[in-house]
Amino acid sequence: MAKMNPFEMFLKQVDEAMPYLNVEQEYIDILKEPKEVLEVAIPLKLDDGTVQIVKGWRAHHNNALGPYKGGVRYHPNVSREEVTALSAWMSIKCATAMLPYGGGKGGVRVSPHDLTKNELERLSRAYAMSIIRFTGTDIDVPAPDVYTDPQIMSWFIDTYEKIKGRNEPSCYTGKPVGLGGSLGRGDATSRGGMYVLREALREIGLLGKPLTAAIQGFGNVGSNAHKLFGEIGITVVAASDSKGGTYNPKGLDYAALIAHKKSGGTVADYPEGERITTDEILESQVDILIPAALEGVLTEANAGKVKAKTILELANGPTTPAAEQILHDNGAMVIPDVLANSGGVTVSCFEWIQGRSGDYWSEKTVHDKLDERLSMAFHEIWEIRKQHKIRMRQAAYVRAISRIVLAMRFRGIWP
């Protein structure tokens, strides 16, 4: 069977929600297409004087609820289709979290680890300049994503403000706190996932019981999940990065594993665990599986081997529709990305609000607001799931699409 690309996954997910929606077909047709996609070719001068042409994209999916919002990723496999799909998922995610945003996403096809810091800065400034007509506080507000970080956001916003000739701290989010960023942004995706998982475990009667988890992808999101999930009684026994994985049935010590990685090691060669493959991580004998890397890791080929009964999607699109059906048939519950990892964009919204008002919130305020918003979103989706006897992702799409279409109806179809 041919592999389903990310945008085809999105279309399939919309179709699976359709029987439970009371919306006109024309609005679904609109949601199945991005409003616009900008493709750019960036001439990057390398330190040796040669020039490399780098492709980049910024996709705008839908802005019925507000400005486009979504990260920018740097990755050698980024494509137009992937960026377009991610922008569509952002529309659903922002509506799921009740944010005043539509969906956008950006990507640059590059391996950032192969660039020097000066080359990375030149590329980042050139990309920000290339998409400047697509961005702005009330137009499109980019943020970090895979292999981008607060430093890259600093170059983005500095380029934007110098070209525009004004300060505009709310035109990018995910900035360093010293440049107008928000406290609580660094671990927001993982923390939001923890709040959502806590409410799910409460509903199914497992909160407070000893539970184990495996984390596939040990970057910023996966490592912060390891750190935070102990707060709700979850022991991480397996983790993996791009080099492989490690397993210890007694639990992996967060501080020791992070120290090992910072000293130049990988998760795979962590001395206090048994080396395992990435495939074995997905098939671990654990209660909770947390995909926290890239999309499409749970497929029709491996879903039947997954033993976890709860899958918390901290990555974007890690489960194909065919895999999700298999997991559901086997009694597993998938907590979808559009809810589970919406903590990052939610705190980005908080940063945007702070930037617009010139205010700074305490970390506790950010955490409390994030907890309140995502807990509310979870329970509304949970009720839809129970009412229709459908999967969590279907329920999330029913809720999100209903919100987007309501706004589209008020606006009308024009032009």
Instruction: In whole angstroms, give the CA distance from residue 214 to residue 283.
Output: 9
Measured at the alpha carbon of residue 304, what is the angle toward residues 299 and 306, in degrees to the nearest 5? 90
Angle between helices 363-388 and 188-203 (to 10 degrees): 40
Q: Are 61 and 103 in contact (CB under 8 A)?
A: yes
CB atoms < 10 A from the CB of 220, how many? 17
Catalytic residue among 105, 227, 305, 386: 105
Asked if 147 and 75 count as a contact pair (C-beta separation under 8 A), the reply is yes
User: Is 261 noted as a catalytic residue in this protein?
Assistant: no
Beta bridge partners of 318: none
| 226 close to 236: Cβ distance less than 8 angstroms | yes
Q: 38 — phi, psi (to 5°)? A: -100, 130
The span from the CA of 117 to the CA of 119, in Å, is: 5
SS3 for 119-186, per residue?
HHHHHHHHHHHHCHHHCECCCEEEEECCCCCHHHHHHHHHHHHHHHCCCCCCCCCCCCHHHCCCCCCC
| Phi-psi label, residue 140: left if phi above 0, alpha if psi -120 to 50, beta otherwise | beta
Taking alpha carbons only, the member of 77, 33, 91, 126 closest to residue 337 is 91
The catalytic residues are 105
